[in-house]
Every structure is written in C-alpha cells, then in structure tokens.
A = this chain, B = another copy of it.
Amino acid sequence: MFEHQVKFRVLYSDTDKMGYMYYGQYAKYLEMGRVESLRSLGLSYRSMEDTGVIMPVLDLKLKYIKPLYYDDEVILITKICKMPGTRIYFEYELRNPKGEVATIAETTLVFVDRETGKPCLIPENFKSKMETYF
C-alpha cells in the first residue's frame, strides 16, 4: 500500500453561506492529493501527459462526515491500496485540525492513450515505482 500526506488551508473561496467548505470544492483538493502523492514518488502527471497518456476520472465518491471550516488546516491523506493496471484507485481521508476524520473519498481513474482515445496500461516508470509498494 502507498500512502501520502499533504496539508491545505480552507480558503474563503471554498466556504459557502452555511460557513462550511462547500461540498463541490473537495474534488480539486483530491486532485492535489493525487498529483502531490505521485510527485513524492518522482512521478510527474504533467510529464506523463507529455508522453501521450492522460488520466480521466471515471467516478468519484465523497462522504461528508464532519464539516470543514474557514481557515482550517486540513490533513489530506491519499492512498493507493491496490496495484494499478489500466485503472488506478485512490482513497482519501481528510482530517480536521482536531485530527478527526472529516471526509472520506474514493476515485477511479483510467490510463488513456491520447492518440487512440482508448484505455492503455499504466506507463512503465509509473508501474515500477508502484511495484515497490505491493
């Protein structure tokens, strides 16, 4: 299993009139979790795209357990629990400043060859990095 942590602050921009982080603002932070977790492995999503492989999102699940508030420093934990093949599953946990699990989430992404538009296997350098965790 592979696990990574990154922190972010809830911006005013993220809040809504209820005073919470708006339910539609989480997805971009999950993206940040994916990209920074890959970067921590020496993998750059941008470089992967430059070699012609893109990773569209197939599905997203979010469970809002406790609200996140303005200026909260949130710990975002990103996990890959299964060796990726054509698809890659990410799991996420967002912890509020008290250390409580505020949100859990899951996404499935698929490796796609930009030329053909068809699913393809995980690129070799990505695969070899991942194999050390499984």
A: residues with CB less than 8 A from B are 9, 11-13, 15-20, 22-28, 30-32, 35, 44-46, 54, 56-64, 67, 70-71
Cβ-defined contact, B64 with A61, below 8 A: no
Task: From the candidates B19, B46, B59, name the one contacting A64 in the complex (CB within 8 A).
Answer: B59
| Distance in Å: Cβ of A23 to nearest Cβ of chain B | 4
Is A16 a contact of B18 with CB atoms below 8 Å? no
**B11 near A32: Cβ-Cβ < 8 Å:** yes
Which of the listed residues A58, A60, A71 has the most CB atoms from chain B within 10 Å of its own CB?
A60
Chain B CB count within 10 A is highest, among A18, A46, A63, for: A18
Residues of B close to A59: CB separation below 8 A: 61-64
Cα(A24)–Cα(B31), bound, Å = 9
**Are A27 and B13 in touch, CB under 8 angstroms?**
yes
Asked whether A18 and B56 contact (CB < 8 A) given A13-B28, A61-B61, the answer is yes
Q: Give the distance to chain B from A83, nearest Cβ to Cβ, in Å.
A: 23
The reply to whether A56 and B60 contact each other, CB–CB distance below 8 Å, is no
A21 to B89, CA, bound (A): 21
